[in-house]
């Protein structure tokens, strides 16, 4: 089963930041492929969601970029800025909290006595 | 792995541009992404153009431009919360400045002018534009956005007119009349017919339209009775004799 775009969209920034924390520098296609492989193709990040998110994170100052030319085309590598490193911790913690709350809300775990 | 020629790379880039993606950064990102997909998935003897067409379709729902629109929206609204806070602060400030300015003016105390100017300028040039920018995010459809924009513009014009009038600056009447006439003959009809056509908005549209007509009417009357006509003054003077 592939998760719906709506579900993934709210967590996309956190996913991208965490991947960049673990992999130092990545380019767009690499990000989509890594997520696909790591989740057994259950999360497929669309190009229409990824690039707007990367641009937004860059303009928020959380990412830095470097470019590399491959023949006539340009490849843009993204990595975390100093500010981005702090933000990654915050967002991952926030998402973990959110998942715990959802577990409680939806009764996914048996209540502890 | 498929080897793309320079001509093929050029072909893809031109196609991205033709489909309405104008941001250079985004063009180059998409170009590299598509090239990667082709290089990893296309066989040496496969049809390049057919595969490219198939691939690019997966990037969007209706048209490729969506990606750029989404990017612009995210970039514009990265400061959404800051804008909201500034809107609230400017709203509170302008209301306080306007109320105290009016009180000072009424009591003939010094400082009334500067308070009124600051209050109205903040309200019409900071609060209203910010409110419009934030409001349009919630509105779907170009027509609704256009009508809302017109409403805000006329509101700003009328507020500035009031300021010019209070300060006895030239051009006050043009601004005020322009604002009211635009409101009565352009905005209200457009707003009413546009909202009336949408069943879920019909009731609220009728109510708001009634209020708007009342406001426009009373403002117009106020402007007319503010300054007695020359012949009325003469008649009053004759009666007093």
B127 by Cβ neighbours in 10 Å (0-12 / 13-18 / 19+) ranks as buried
Residue A111 confidence (pLDDT): 52
Instruction: Tell me the C-alpha distance between B46 and B183, whole Å.
Output: 62
Q: Which residues of A touch B54 (CB under 8 A)?
A: none
Residue A113 confidence (pLDDT): 46
Residue B145 confidence (pLDDT): 87
pLDDT (tens digit per residue) in B203-229: 889 999 999 999 889 888 887 765 555
Residue A17 has pLDDT above 90, yes or no: yes
Q: Which residues of A touch B61 (CB under 8 A)?
A: 48
With CA atoms as reference, report the closest residue to B148 among B163, B129, B164.
Answer: B129
Average pLDDT over residues B80-107: 91
Instruction: Tell me the C-alpha distance between A66 and A76, whole Å.
Output: 6
With CA atoms as reference, report the closest residue to B134 among B178, B87, B89.
Answer: B87
The upper half-sphere exposure of residue A26, i.e. CA atoms within 13 Å in the direction of its Cβ, equals 22
Q: Which residues of A touch B5 (CB under 8 A)?
A: none
Biggest alpha carbon distance in chain A?
Answer: 64
3-state secondary structure chain B: CCCCCHHHHHHHHHHHHHCCCCCHHHHHHHHHHHHHHHHHHCCCCCCHHHHHHHHHHCCCCCCCHHHHHHHHHHHHHHHHHHHHHHHHHHHHHHHHHHHHHHHHHHCCCCCHHHHHHHHHHHHHHHHHHHHHHHHHHHCCCHHHHHHHHHHHHHHHHHHHHHHHHHCCCCCHHHHHHHHHHHHHHHHHHHHHHHHHCCHHHHHHHHHHHHHHHHHHHHHHHHHHHHCCCHHHHHHHHHHHC
Average pLDDT over residues B99-114: 92
Residue B219 confidence (pLDDT): 84
pLDDT (tens digit per residue) in A20-37: 999 989 999 999 999 999
Instruction: Tell me the C-alpha distance between A32 and B48, whole Å.
Output: 22
Residue B61 has pLDDT above 60, yes or no: yes
Average pLDDT over residues A87-102: 93
Q: Which of B71, B76, B77, B81 has the most A C-beta neighbours within 10 Å, making it the best mutation to test the interface with A?
A: B71
Neighbours of B176 (CB within 10 A): 23
Q: Do B67 and A48 touch (CB under 8 A)?
A: yes
Q: Do B70 and A49 touch (CB under 8 A)?
A: yes
Q: Do B36 and A48 touch (CB under 8 A)?
A: no
Q: Do A52 and B74 touch (CB under 8 A)?
A: yes
Q: Which residues of A touch B58 (CB under 8 A)?
A: 46-47
pLDDT (tens digit per residue) in B129-150: 999 988 887 776 788 889 999 9
A-contacting residues in B 131-160 (Cβ below 8 Å):
none
> Which residue reads 């180059």 in tokens?
B28
Which residues have CB under 8 Å from B115's CB, separation 6+?
Answer: B97, B98, B100, B101, B104
- DSSP code for A17: H
Residue B107 confidence (pLDDT): 92
Counting residues of chain B whose pLDDT is more than 90, the rounded percentage is 45
Residue A70: phi, psi to the nearest 5? -120, 95
Average pLDDT over residues B60-70: 88
Average pLDDT over residues B177-197: 91
Instruction: Tell me the C-alpha distance between B98 and B96, whole Å.
Output: 5
A36: phi > 0 → left, psi -120 to 50 → alpha, else beta; which? alpha
B128-138 and B80-106 helices cross at what angle (nearest 10)? 140
Q: Do B32 and A60 touch (CB under 8 A)?
A: no
- Specify whether the CB–CB gap between A14 and A66 falls below 8 A: no
């Amino acid at each position: 089963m592939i998760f719906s775009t709506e579900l993934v969209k709210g967590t996309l920034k956190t996913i991208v930041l965490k991947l960049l924390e673990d992999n130092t520098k990545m380019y767009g296609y690499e990000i989509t492929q890594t997520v696909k492989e790591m989740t057994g193709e259950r999360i497929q990040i669309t190009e229409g969601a990824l690039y707007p998110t990367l641009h937004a994170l860059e303009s928020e100052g959380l990412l830095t970029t470097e470019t590399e030319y491959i023949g006539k085309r340009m490849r843009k590598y993204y990595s975390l800025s100093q500010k981005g490193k702090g933000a990654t911790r915050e967002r991952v913690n926030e998402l973990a909290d959110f998942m715990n709350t959802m577990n409680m809300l939806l009764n996914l775990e048996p209540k502890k006595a | 792995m498929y080897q793309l020629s320079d001509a093929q790379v050029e072909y893809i880039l031109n196609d991205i541009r033709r489909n309405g993606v104008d941001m250079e950064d985004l063009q180059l990102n998409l170009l590299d992404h598509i090239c990667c997909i082709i290089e990893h998935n296309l066989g040496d003897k496969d049809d390049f153009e057919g595969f490219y067409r198939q691939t690019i379709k997966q990037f969007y729902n209706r048209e490729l431009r969506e990606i750029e629109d989404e990017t612009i929206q995210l970039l514009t609204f990265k400061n959404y919360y800051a804008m909201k806070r500034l809107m609230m602060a400017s709203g509170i400030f302008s209301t306080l400045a306007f109320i105290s300015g009016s009180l000072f003016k009424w009591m003939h105390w010094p400082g009334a002018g500067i308070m009124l100017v600051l209050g109205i300028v903040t309200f019409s040039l900071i609060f209203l534009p910010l409110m419009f920018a934030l409001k349009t995010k919630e509105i779907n459809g170009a027509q609704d956005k256009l009508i809302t924009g017109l409403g805000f513009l006329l509101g700003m014009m009328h507020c500035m007119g009031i300021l010019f009038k209070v300060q006895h600056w030239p051009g006050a009447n043009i601004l005020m009349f322009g604002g009211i006439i635009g409101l009565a003959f352009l905005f209200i009809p457009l707003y009413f017919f546009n909202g009336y056509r949408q069943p879920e908005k019909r009731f609220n549209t009728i109510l708001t339209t009634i209020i708007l007509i009342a406001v426009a009417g009373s403002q117009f009357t106020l402007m007319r009775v503010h300054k007695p006509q020359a012949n009325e003054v003469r008649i009053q003077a004759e009666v007093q004799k």
